[in-house]
Structure 1
């Protein structure tokens, strides 16, 4: 099947990684997958065909989209960004589906789903989002497909440093990711005379909340000497080499791709009890959950594993098994194939 996998204004992050994973998962099934991306500097992709929008003026980008669909004639257009989902309504007007014979699929990466209703089918990354969508959309055309990851690493037992653990965090530098929750936890750990190191990675999306903001917060908590700010994490394997605990203190997280990356690199994950984290982590079994926004509860969970180091590798091993069983690219590929079969028969 000829598929146009589309994203707009792509950047480093979870949505962009899922976009890449869909490309790989669909290609695994023998589909011809072309990419539609923005010409914005983040263009390191591999595909037989790559179409680029200039990301300058919406009207010109939309006109180019029309030309791409006319020339490439995809059977399915998969939209990973809200702007593209909105354009699908106009696309159907200018290029009637009965003539051009295509279907549109929206991938909901978060709880804001209104623009996805412009597409013919909707994929949500968890059950909670699907339940919200189904109140406004045909349930037979609404699906749940969990995110996945390429299992490129074998499980490798780590030697847990419970004397001075390195606690890692990375992601979009913004308030909802909870960097401040972790930094306050660092202050509490220091007051309890527990030694530790923070390894902090991330990429900036705002001038008002950035790496400098995090450094100032670390100064305020008087733990700047315990923080290693590593910037954008491009090499995940290198990042995880000396990380004992991955902290995911997000205030909201519909899935939490970073959590299964922790599973992949045999690292214990402690996450706030968001919908995404509760989907992935069975508390005390394959990771630890703490009360959302509670730095004190985060500290309690960190100390619980420090004081019981014998549980560390057992939890990490179980997390890796969960990853293999539920969140592999093969699983994603099969789920997408099942949906395409239903669409083809629609």
Structure 2
């Protein structure tokens, strides 16, 4: 039996990469033909609970090296293509052509030529690169000139929590945002739209934490309908109580949160950028809005996370990032809030789509079939 050695950081509390991996890893524990291990530089976040076969690299370094060079191990690196440490490690050790890299978003963070070179060198060492979306594949091919034949699309999978929506006669609708409070996630646009709707019968909920929390609370002052609730342990517990989820991202390789909303049958209003349209079809399973507003670099302090390029899903070209116009976003929120039938329709269509394309079983099978090639 071959060993699958996952190298991934489980330190962060609300990362889509970690949540996706956790669903897969728990499923693989009882369904895989292989034995799985996790190696990380950090202790696992308490948010993820107990993980079987989890090892901290520093405490188990020689065991880690043995796996790297073993013919009986497949090395699966999650979001590690930009890592210099990984490059030097793999370059120095005989790895038996057993390297898989999974790319789920780090490609958008690359800014300097030095980073680009390391990224390309790590890609050269890989036997296979797994991407989470068509947009991610285009980013790798067009920006980093990586051979498309080495790239394999396997959509992330999520287990259906089988949530039953309750019929309620509440007077106010709940509009939500969940994610890291940093510029690229667009929480500032959500609040700007909420400020334009503060006289309406709507309550706005923000779940998550991050560098912009203080500034975001400042711009929401005077709007008693905006509520910050901090980090949430289980996204489904937050999303299932919403009437509309808003995903105003500036960049989003795929967008796990939209998949989670679909599994809750909650309609989504989102940016038409990168991989988001691979989850949501405009005016069929949600509302997509083209980003048209120039990003004001002086408005927020947290600008380091802004990408140099994003993927325009209409033509799959690299373009400079823009953000949603809050006026257009507010009009879409108001439109959907006034039409219960449309909300139910979009929620159901999104549920049917994500159940088919993003099931944990299809994701698991795609990964398992890939292992067979080693």
TM-score, L = length of structure 2: 0.78
CA distance in 2, matches of 1:66, 1:134: 36
Alignment match, 1:68: 64
> What is the SS of the residue equivalent to 2:344?
helix
Q: Does the aligned pair in 1 maintain the 2:191–2:226 contact within 8 Å?
A: no
Partner residue of 2:350 out of 297, 319, 330: 319
Q: Kindly tell me the number of residue pairs found equivalent between the two proteins.
A: 322
State the Cα distance separating 1:154 from its structure 2 match.
4.3
- Structure 1 residue runs without a partner (length 5+): 55-60
Rate the CA distance shift 1:160–1:137 in 2: closer, same or farther, 3 A: farther
Rate the CA distance shift 1:42–1:96 in 2: closer, same or farther, 3 A: same
Q: Does the aligned pair in 2 maintain the 1:85–1:119 contact within 8 Å?
A: no
Rate the CA distance shift 1:17–1:186 in 2: closer, same or farther, 3 A: same
Alignment match, 2:20: 18
Give per-residue Cα distances to partners, 1:139-178, cap 9 Å, x unaligned. 33211112221112245365485x5211111111101111
CA distance in 1, matches of 2:280, 2:51: 34
Alignment match, 1:295: 326
State the Cα distance separating 1:265 from its structure 2 match.
1.5
CA distance in 1, matches of 2:275, 2:260: 14
Whether 2:141 is the aligned partner of 1:134: answer: yes
Alignment match, 2:127: 120
Whether 2:206 is the aligned partner of 1:200: answer: yes
CA distance in 2, matches of 1:306, 1:337: 42
Instruction: After TM superposition, list the pairs within 5 Å mapping 1:224-303 onto structure 2.
Output: 225-292=224-291, 293-303=324-334
Give per-residue Cα distances to partners, 1:7-36, cap 9 Å, x unaligned. 136312112112223423543223210001
State the Cα distance separating 1:102 from its structure 2 match.
5.5
State the Cα distance separating 1:45 from its structure 2 match.
5.0
Alignment match, 1:145: 154
CA distance in 1, matches of 2:67, 2:135: 38
Give per-residue Cα distances to partners, 1:113-139, cap 9 Å, x unaligned. 742514332111111221332353333
Q: Does the aligned pair in 2 maintain the 1:247–1:270 contact within 8 Å?
A: yes
Partner residue of 2:369 out of 322, 335, 338: 338
CA distance in 2, matches of 1:187, 1:47: 42
Of Structure 1 and Structure 2, the greater helix share is in 1
Q: Does the aligned pair in 2 maintain the 1:155–1:320 contact within 8 Å?
A: no
Rate the CA distance shift 1:305–1:158 in 2: closer, same or farther, 3 A: farther
Q: Does the aligned pair in 2 maintain the 1:198–1:226 contact within 8 Å?
A: yes
CA distance in 1, matches of 2:180, 2:241: 21
- Structure 2 residue runs without a partner (length 5+): 111-115, 292-323
Q: Does the aligned pair in 2 maintain the 1:88–1:104 contact within 8 Å?
A: no
Q: Does the aligned pair in 1 maintain the 2:154–2:363 contact within 8 Å?
A: yes
CA distance in 1, matches of 2:7, 2:147: 23
- CA RMSD between the two structures: 2.5
CA distance in 1, matches of 2:169, 2:357: 26
Q: Does the aligned pair in 2 maintain the 1:176–1:250 contact within 8 Å?
A: yes
Rate the CA distance shift 1:123–1:83 in 2: closer, same or farther, 3 A: closer
Q: Does the aligned pair in 2 maintain the 1:33–1:47 contact within 8 Å?
A: no
